[in-house]
Amino acid sequence: MPNIKVIIPAYNEANSIANVIHDIPEIVDEIIVVNNNSTDDTEVNAKKAGATVLTETKMGYGYACLKGMQYIANQTKKPNIIVFLDGDYSDYPEELTKIVAPIINDNIDFVIGSRVKKLRETGSMTTPQIFGNWLATSLMRLFFGAKYTDLVPFRAIKYDKLLALNMVDKTYGWTVEMQLKTLKQKLSYTEVPVNYRNRIGVSKVSGTIKGAIFAGVKILSWIFKYSIKK
């Protein structure tokens, strides 16, 4: 089996983080939780559950992901695959095996867990989320011929390909940046249908008007930026 590491950005996920960690399959070599200024017991609970816990004081999803990557870069033994997963328990961590299978079996570079409607729990995605997803993926299909259907954070990528993407976004544009750069660098990619449930706690993005607007602006700005570069 390849060396697999999981990066979980987490902000105030004390009630869910242990569940996420416990449900991650044993094929994973290391689970890295990046505590992004949590004011609850996220750090304590993650450590008790057996994860490596890092601290990133700069607020932002991208900042947390980059912190995890920096930690891995300083390790002697590098992984083959990196999996990104949220800490709110909305995804099913045990489906990680489905996410990495195309990389292991078919040599695919990048895999997204797609939240298809028939596998989504009622209410797990808000109307703005569904519309935003549709708009972003439709624009990527129009401008770049992409076949994406989702911007979900649950994803796996070969470590060397991830490094080659030279990721820079510090906040909500992280997921779309990765997908756009995958297209630009002509990496192979696919989507795997996954289950999705109502998260534990309140979303930091879709759960607030400010978060939803900021995320939408960031995502669209990345798409239009790359459409101009085309």
Q: How far apart are CA 149 and CA 158, in angstroms?
A: 21
Phi, psi at residue 154, to the nearest 5°? -70, 105
pLDDT in tens, 72-131: 999 999 999 999 999 999 999 999 999 999 999 999 999 999 999 999 999 998 887 888
pLDDT of residue 130: 86
Spatial contact of 61 and 35, defined as CB atoms under 8 Å apart = no
Residue 105 in tokens: 């079996």
* Regions in the chain scoring below 50 on pLDDT: 206-208, 230
Q: How far apart are CA 204 and CA 207, in angstroms?
A: 6
DSSP track, 59-105: -SHHHHHHHHHHHHHTSSS--SEEEE--SSS-B-GGGHHHHHHHHHH
**Cβ atoms within 10 Å of 25's Cβ, excluding its own:** 13
